[in-house]
């Protein structure tokens, strides 16, 4: 794993800020445009362009970049041909969908997280012939979930905490259906838990729950989907270990679970876990939210402005390394994409791709061991 820079040496001396920061100026635009979707993993990033090509960069020790080897890349490198629709990155594996809904996965497969029926790593995209088409996939540490075009929900990989949602703790190397319902709309996975929304906006969560990351009012884990009866409907959700956030249909933003790094964004003076969703600010214009895979920071968008909060090192994109207990502005949009990795974040603005945080995952051509490639403001990514 690419673990570099002083942000890893300790966080005790970091400043904590509660107010909104002044949004830094946007970096100058460059000729590289056409980005439509981005996914920031723990130590690598992948993104899709408008020509349906797929590009990945960062760590590659398990072949998670899908470029046919295990050498890291510091700049976006094309994966396969074209016809890619979407991509999602986990710890060190990646899954992507083609425009026809066919699922490809690659990278680490020690727990069957590629869903190929075995535990062999792959360094290039691999599919299962004859598998039904998919609508979306969500990759996490050692497991993956996805929704098929018939609105059924399936999960595979490690299951030590019931994170597959299939009623037991036995891992699966092929997709296993979660329940029998065919009305699932979206799913978001984290290290050992997951949450999903049904088409009516009801939220279901399952897996580990030691810090209340399921947001159901207790700390008891679940091996099957569990909902809170009477909870208002949700528009979208996101999970990072061990914290979750979501936007309700009224445009309000809510977070729950672990708050050790103030990643709930509630302005708490003490890092207090929340077992049920708590509202983040009074805004009713939230449209996007992304929780970091490591659960230490989060970013969201409201009224076209990008905000981030939580652990400040190695950079929330607000110009310094201070930890934020409430959302702080990065800079104005319009933004059309957002994804938070373990220690870096990426977003799409006017089809340009920007990333900030740990430089080794930014695609910056700088391989020394200092901190000048850890970006505290958004950096324009070129290929």
* Cβ neighbours around 179 below 10 Å, total: 14
Task: Read off the pLDDT of each residue in 291-311 and give the average, rounded to a whole number.
Answer: 93
Predicted TM-score (pTM) above 0.85: yes
Least confident of 48-62, 80-94, 139-153, 317-331: 317-331
Question: Considering Cα of 155, then 159, then 163, then 168, what sign does the dihedral take?
Answer: positive
Q: DSSP assignment, residue 21?
A: P
CATH of domain 46-335: 2.130.10.30
Distance CA 36, CA 188 (A): 20
Q: pLDDT per residue over 57-109, tens digit each? A: 999 999 999 999 999 999 999 999 999 999 999 999 999 999 999 999 999 99
Task: Read off the pLDDT of each residue in 41-47 and give the average, rounded to a whole number.
Answer: 95
270 token code pair? 């003490």
Q: Which residues, other chains included, contact 25 with Cβ-Cβ below 8 Å and sequence gap of 6+?
A: 331
Q: pLDDT per residue over 8-24, tens digit each? A: 322 233 344 544 333 33
Q: pLDDT per residue over 179-210, tens digit each? A: 999 999 999 999 999 999 999 999 999 999 99
| Domain residue limits, the chain | 46-335
């Amino acid at each position: 794993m690419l673990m570099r820079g002083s942000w890893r040496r300790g966080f005790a001396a970091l400043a904590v800020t509660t107010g909104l920061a002044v949004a830094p100026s946007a970096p100058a635009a460059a000729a590289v445009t056409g980005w439509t979707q981005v996914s920031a993993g723990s130590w690598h990033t992948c993104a899709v362009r408008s020509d349906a090509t797929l590009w990945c960069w960062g760590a590659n020790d398990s072949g998670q970049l899908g470029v046919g080897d295990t050498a890291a890349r510091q700049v976006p490198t094309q994966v396969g041909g074209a016809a890619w629709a979407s991509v999602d990155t986990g710890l060190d594996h990646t899954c992507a969908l083609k425009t026809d809904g066919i699922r490809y996965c690659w990278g680490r497969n020690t727990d069957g997280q590629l869903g190929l029926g075995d535990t062999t790593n792959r360094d290039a995209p691999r599919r299962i012939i004859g598998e039904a088409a998919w609508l979306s996939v969500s990759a996490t540490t050692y497991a993956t979930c996805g929704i098929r075009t018939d609105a059924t929900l399936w999960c595979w990989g490690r299951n030590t905490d019931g994170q597959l949602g299939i009623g037991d703790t036995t891992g699966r190397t092929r997709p296993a259906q979660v329940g029998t319902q065919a009305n699932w709309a979206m799913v978001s996975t984290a290290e050992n838990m997951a949450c999903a929304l049904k088409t009516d906006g009801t939220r279901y969560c399952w897996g580990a729950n030691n810090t209340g990351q399921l947001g159901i009012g207790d700390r008891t884990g679940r091996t099957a989907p569990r909902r809170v009866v009477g909870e208002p409907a949700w528009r979208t959700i996101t999970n990072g270990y061990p914290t979750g956030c979501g936007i309700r249909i009224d445009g309000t933003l809510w977070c729950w679970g672990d708050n050790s790094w103030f990643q709930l964004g509630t302005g708490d003076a003490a890092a207090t876990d929340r077992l049920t969703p708590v509202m983040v600010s009074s805004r009713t214009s939230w449209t996007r939210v992304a929780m970091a895979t490591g659960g230490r920071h989060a970013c969201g968008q409201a009224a076209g402005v990008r905000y981030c909060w939580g652990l400040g090192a190695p950079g929330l994109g607000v110009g310094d390394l201070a930890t934020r207990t409430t959302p702080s502005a990065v800079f104005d949009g319009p933004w059309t994409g957002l994804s938070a990795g373990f220690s870096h974040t990426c977003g799409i603005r006017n089809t340009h791709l920007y990333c900030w945080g740990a430089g080794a995952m930014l695609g910056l051509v700088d391989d020394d061991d200092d901190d000048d490639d850890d970006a505290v403001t958004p950096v324009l990514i070129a290929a």
